[in-house]
Amino acid sequence: MLLYLIDIIRGGDVIRAACVLVIDKDEVLVEKAAVVLEEAGYDVVTATDTIDGLKKVYEVRPDLIIAARELPMVNGEDACLKIRQASYLPILVLGSEEEAVETLELGVDAFLTKPLSTNELVARVRALLRRKMGPHPSAKELAA
């Protein structure tokens, strides 16, 4: 499912809903995260492997990346580290509790344990985007 950024024009200013890239080999989790984030008003782009995810970082230029900790390595390098090297965008990583400290040390911005709490996922996305861009509205907030 690939949703392109939708520009919403209000009062002459072009404002767009934030775009979130979700990368995880677990297609069920990707779909669940996409649905929850879309319901919260974000544009969502998905990928089920590291290489496709890295391509989409450059093609779509998302505002935030959500990636699974267990993504396969790329050319012998840790996938999360490779994503960090490719982008200074906020990165939220999903994984087991045991992986949290090591993953945060790689330079990611936030970590959530699986299974996901959908409420916490949306709250973390909002917090990371606020820190990156200041108050950045979702499409729902823009439509109000």
The residue with tokens 């404002």 is: 15
**pLDDT value at position 139?**
52
* Sites in the chain below the pLDDT cut of 50: 1-14, 136
**pLDDT value at position 6?**
35
Q: Buried b / exposed e across 40-51, counting CB within 10 Å, b at 16+?
A: bbbbbbbbbebe
**pLDDT value at position 143?**
55
Cis peptide bond upstream of 135, omega within 30? no
**pLDDT value at position 118?**
93
**pLDDT value at position 4?**
31
Locate 31 and state its tokens: 């779909």
DSSP 3-state of 23: strand
**pLDDT value at position 7?**
36
Locate 97 and state its tokens: 């509790």
**pLDDT value at position 137?**
53
**pLDDT value at position 30?**
95
pTM to 2 decimal places: 0.80
Residue pair 19/40 in contact by the 8 Å Cβ criterion: no
Q: Which domains does the chain have, with CATH numbers?
A: 14-110+119-143 (3.40.50.2300)
Q: In sequence order, what DSSP letters do the residues of 36-103 get, joined into one string?
A: HHHHTT-EEEEESSHHHHHHHHHHH--SEEEEETTPPPBTTB-HHHHHHHH--S-EEEEE-GGGHHHH
